Amino acid sequence: MPPKLRDVAERAGVSVKTVSNVVNGYVHVKDATRDRVQRAIDELGYRPNLTARSLRSGRSGVLALAVPELDVPYFAELARLVVETAADRGYTVVIDQTGGGREQEMVVLKGIRSHFVDGVLFSPLALSAADLRARTDRAPLVLLGERAPRGPDDHVGIDNVRAARDATEHLVAIGCRRIAAIGAQTGGPGATARQRLSGYRASLTEAGLPYDPDLVVPARSFHRADGFAAMAALLALPDPPDGVFCFNDPLALGALRCLATRGIRVPQDVAVVGFDDAEDGRYSTPSLSTIAPDKPTIATTAVDFLLARIDGTAPTGPRRTTAPHTLVPRESTDR
């Protein structure tokens, strides 16, 4: 049996309350008492039982982070940053992989684990605004990624429409005239993809370029294999594109690979822009131009929003932050 508060109290000759005060850094303890208690703690190797503390105090010191997939670079980086930020604030993070499906995401929303965590950071892919509004679980929640219009929850994201315009405008600026988009998701929610698509269209309009539905290729998921397949479909067109905007970096890296296998030169024949600024794209050949969301800001803001909800120091209404993004031009559009 590991030692408990009571054992420490007996050894130090004080009450459990005093030990508890020492353990929790309560200030009004005489130095002599504190020393005596601390010595007993050290001698016994006492460590507080976090479960009991949590049951009694109603706080676990654990946050949940729910993301679609850990091995999509963007989510892996986000997870790292969230875990680091939370650790700075004295919190542990439980990671939940939803797979991006609605069913799994509803499980998160219903708070199956909410008795156990103090709050939830959630990056949903398939949920609708109605799903979010219908939530009954009362654990504090902060949404990442998609913009939930008029949703009831705190939210941290970027301006996807603006970012997609920036990416497309960049292709226009270097002389592309037939610009394709890879990653559209029309059926279902997929707010992110929809916003990026609408930014793409806005940019075409602005540039006086026609919108050609043939150049918009949907993707089931956002992996390299999907980007490869989409690029292959575009190349099979009678009039293939001279520029491609991919809705994330893995799609773009898959597209690059497809172009390489066909012997098509990037950026001379086809220019490519991705989205997310994954480390991969900095070392690919050619290196990948991309939209870089400010991930540290996203992670820090989200964690701090959540902790403020948990502490009750947050304002009543939902808080929303749009983190900045930047276009990072690299070789894949260098012409």
Partner DNA sequence: CTGAAAGCGCTTACAG
Segment near its own copies (CB under 8 A); pick from 21-29, 70-78, 192-200, 296-304: 70-78
CA 148 vs. chain centroid, Å, equals 15
| Full DSSP string of 34-63 | HHHHHHHHHHHT----HHHHHHHHS--SEE
Q: What are phi and psi of 185, to 5 degrees?
A: -135, 100
With contact defined as beta carbons under 8 Å apart, do 179 and 243 qualify? Answer: yes
Cα–Cα distances (Å) from 136 to 3, 303, 309, 313, in that order, read 40, 22, 16, 21
Q: Taking Cα atoms as reference points, which of 200, 169, 171 lies closest to residue 184?
A: 200
Q: 50 to 109, contacts with DNA by CB under 7 A? A: 52-53, 55-57
CA–CA gap between residue 168 and residue 8 (Å, rounded): 65
Per rule CB under 7 A, is residue 49 in the interface with DNA?
yes
As measured in angstroms, the least distance from the Cβ of 53 to its own copies is 9
Partner touching 165 among its own copies, DNA, none, CB below 5 to 8 Å by kind: none
As measured in angstroms, the least distance from the Cβ of 63 to DNA is 19
Assign 184 to helix, strand or coil.
Answer: strand
Assign 315 to helix, strand or coil.
Answer: coil
Centre a 10 Å sphere on the Cβ of residue 181 and count the other Cβ atoms it contains: 28
Per rule CB under 8 A, is residue 77 in the interface with its own copies?
yes
As measured in angstroms, the least distance from the Cβ of 300 to its own copies is 16
In the set 10, 38, 44, 48, which binds DNA (CB under 7 A)?
48
Partner touching 94 among DNA, its own copies, none, CB below 5 to 8 Å by kind: its own copies
CA–CA gap between residue 133 and residue 236 (Å, rounded): 43
- B/e letters for 211-247, b = 16+ CB within 10 Å, e = fewer, are eeeebbbbbebbbbebbbbbbbbbbeeeebbbbbbbb
Segment near its own copies (CB under 8 A); pick from 21-29, 54-62, 169-177, 310-318: 54-62
Per rule CB under 8 A, is residue 6 in the interface with its own copies?
no
Segment near its own copies (CB under 8 A); pick from 27-35, 53-61, 141-149, 155-163: 53-61
Query: If you ran DSSP here, which 8-state letter would residue 218 be given?
Result: E
As measured in angstroms, the least distance from the Cβ of 203 to DNA is 53
As measured in angstroms, the least distance from the Cβ of 32 to its own copies is 28
CA–CA gap between residue 78 and residue 145 (Å, rounded): 11
With respect to DNA, which residue has the nearer C-beta, 58 or 263? 58
Per rule CB under 8 A, is residue 20 in the interface with its own copies?
no
As measured in angstroms, the least distance from the Cβ of 19 to its own copies is 16
Cα–Cα distances (Å) from 276 to 8, 114, 215, 325, in that order, read 51, 30, 22, 9
Per rule CB under 7 A, is residue 39 in the interface with DNA?
no
How many chain residues bind its own copies (CB under 8 A)? 51
Q: What residues line the site for its own copies (CB under 8 A)?
A: 2, 45, 47-52, 54-55, 60, 62, 69-71, 73, 76-77, 79-80, 83-84, 87, 92-97, 111-113, 115-116, 136, 138, 223-224, 228, 253-254, 256-257, 260, 279-280, 282-285, 287
- For binding to DNA (CB under 7 A), which residues are involved? 1-2, 4-6, 13-18, 20-21, 23-24, 27-30, 33, 46, 48-49, 52-53, 55-57
